[in-house]
Amino acid sequence: MPGRRKAVLQRLDRAPELPARARPPRIGAHPGDVQPPPSRHGARVATASRTLWLLGLVAASGALVAVRYVDVDIVVEQSVAAALGVLMALGLSVRSGGRPFPAVALAVLVGAAAVATQSPTLLAGAAVGTGVLAACLAVLGTTPASSYGRAVVEVLVAEAVASAGALGVAGFRVGIDADRFEYTVLALAMATTVALVYRLGGGLHGLGRSGVVLVVAAMVLLVVGVAYTAALTHWGSPGLRHDVDSGKLWLHDHLGAVPHPIEVLLGVPALVWGVTMRDRRRQGWWVCAFGTTATASAATRLVGEDTWTVHTALGAAYSIVLGLVLGYVVIRVVRLLRGKPGRRAATVEDTGHRPEPPRLQPLH
């Protein structure tokens, strides 16, 4: 049986494991300094707020789908699109750990001014803002995946959030060049996501040599792909453009739609690999940042479209499926190149899952 002094020391050692009310007072502390456990009322309010936000997002998206098939005043559709943009701003600010009030106030101001004035410039700005918010929120709304099946679920969730943003973008009914609009949203969404991911991914110094090579390769692929597509569209030779158009027409006739190359080759594989890497290392956020190319493309998918046609849905499905297949190949190749870990490393890999906050809670 331990002595009195030893028993007191053991009790103090176990104090952090005890509930707040069961802990002994600190040395030199005054009566009443012990903090009570957190109130359950606050947790219930937070849960109710997240539930209301999610229901509002679903309701606004459903309303935008309905008004695209029902003849209503264009102001009504634009008002719902503006409300969806406000919900996107609220979700992204909370998820990224920022202050919700400035983001929501700015979204309300821009949306209300665009709808009230019917200014083409303000409507275009509100549409671009909604697309950027949806693309960023779709990436930050993912969670780490411990298996390939879970990674597929995360990609589908990201695509669903981005598709909801596409409904909001199309709801503003802005007459603008689709390619220019897509490039604008892609550039702004990439810049915003990289700025948000910088702290989540531990900064550039945490990438390591292989991570830097990966980021540089992805940037080169993105820049070359976008630049080549733009150059081919505007300055390509008539013969080359005819061959490309013939290939697209063949795919459309035989498959019903044409998959988006950026989503297939970069966006979806980056999301698959990134959420899988985040299960072990937070540097996986840097890989997920390039998944913005997929979510930005999805958020601008309905620009210039009157309805969600079968052609649009098939194109999205083909892009996701082909990107998932390529992502699986990338994961297998990376694991093959790294080689089989030793017994101790395998044990750490099996048990060393990295936790992150749930999907609807702040990341930091």
The number of domains in the chain is 1
Its domain, for residue 252, covers: 50-351
Per cent of the chain over pLDDT 70 is 69
Task: Write the DSSP string, 95-163.
Answer: HTT--HHHHHHHHHHHHHHHHHH--HHHHHHHHHHHHHHHHHHHHHT----SSHHHHHHHHHHHHHHHH
Residue 240 or 316, more confident: 316
Share the mean pLDDT of the chain: 79
Residue 223 has pLDDT above 60, yes or no: yes
202: left (phi over 0), alpha (psi -120 to 50) or beta: left
Residue 124 lies in a domain: yes
Listed residue (291, 230, 227) closest to 264, CA to CA? 291
Q: What is the pLDDT of residues 336-357, one digit of tens each?
A: 877 655 444 444 444 467 888 8
pLDDT at 20: 46
Residue 216 lies in a domain: yes
Residue 244 lies in a domain: yes
Listed residue (63, 245, 255, 274) closest to 170, CA to CA? 63
Residue 34 lies in a domain: no
Q: What is the pLDDT of residues 118-133, one digit of tens each?
A: 999 999 999 999 999 9
| pLDDT mean over 34-45 | 65
Residue 362 lies in a domain: no
Residue 30 lies in a domain: no
Q: For residue 280, give Cα distances in angstroms to 100, 147, 349, 359.
A: 30, 12, 8, 17
Residue 290 lies in a domain: yes
CA dist., res. 193 & res. 137, Å (int): 9
Residue 7 lies in a domain: no
pLDDT at 206: 62
Q: What is the pLDDT of residues 56-105, one digit of tens each?
A: 999 999 999 888 788 888 999 999 999 999 999 999 999 998 889 999 99
Q: What is the pLDDT of residues 133-165, one digit of tens each?
A: 999 999 999 999 999 999 999 999 999 999 999
Task: Write the DSSP string, 261-287.
Answer: HHIIIIIHHHHHHHHHHTTT-TTHHHH
